[in-house]
Amino acid sequence: MAHTRYTLAGQSALVTGGSRSIGRAVALGLARCGARVAINYHSAADAARTAVAEIESRGGRALAVQADVSDPGAVAAMLDQVEASLGPVDILVNNAGVLKRTPFLEIPIDEWDRILHTNLRGYFIVGQAVARRMVQHGIRGSIVNVASSSSRYASLSLSHYAASKGGATMLTRSMAYELAEHGIRVNEVNPGLIETDMNRRDLADPAWRQMRLERIPLRRIGVPDDIVGAVLFLASTDAGLMTGASVAIDGGMTIS
């Protein structure tokens, strides 16, 4: 990714699901702008440690922290660890998510719960816990939720995923409204089709890939680095008057 002009020196950031794909790219971008970065992971410990090592090799400070974002106790323990090592969180990027393609009539309740617990309950639990500590410490912080273009339009076999992301969009707006009095800004980015670990197998199918490309005006599938610039902007003082906003990063998919 090209060098950016945003300066986040002296700030601490937490990226949930930060060990791989979009989360990893965002964590590295925050570190390049001078932030101390905590990289949350659920099970990808090696990937998280590799990301930390990459940040530290460039002179930055980073920490890998394990937690299930849908577990309030685990999240509280994670934040204690982050504060002890890097200081109170100034920037939160809620990114941890899971995806499973299953036709609506075949979705089992445990699969529905797993998607909603991570993608929506997790954003609420981490967002609330971090916001409470921001208020406690008098931090006028920034929260960026990674939603999806699926929050705006329906797709086959993604009812639970779309519901979770649509919920994340309304959670973003509600958080922004209520936290504004504390000077805490809450915005979201809505990635379109980005090649990640979750969809790489689908994209390997030429017919599926072409079908998706035809729905994107720019005719390009994104990569994780395409999301980073918008997150850095929303986290920075350049976006100081923005809260409750949704930024589409989808090659024009949601306008076609």
Residues classed as catalytic: 148, 161, 165
* Order of strands, sheet of 62-66, starting from the edge strand that comes earlier in the sequence: 62-66, 36-41, 12-15, 91-94, 142-146, 185-191, 246-249
Alpha helices in the chain (DSSP H): 21-32, 45-57, 72-86, 109-116, 122-137, 159-179, 200-203, 206-213, 225-235
* CB within 8 Å of 137: residues ≥ 6 apart: 88
Q: Is 18 left (phi over 0), alpha (psi -120 to 50) or beta?
A: alpha
Name the token pair of 239. 């976006």
DSSP H or E segment with residue 191: strand 185-191
Q: Give the span between the Cα atoms of 90 and 200, in whole angstroms.
A: 33
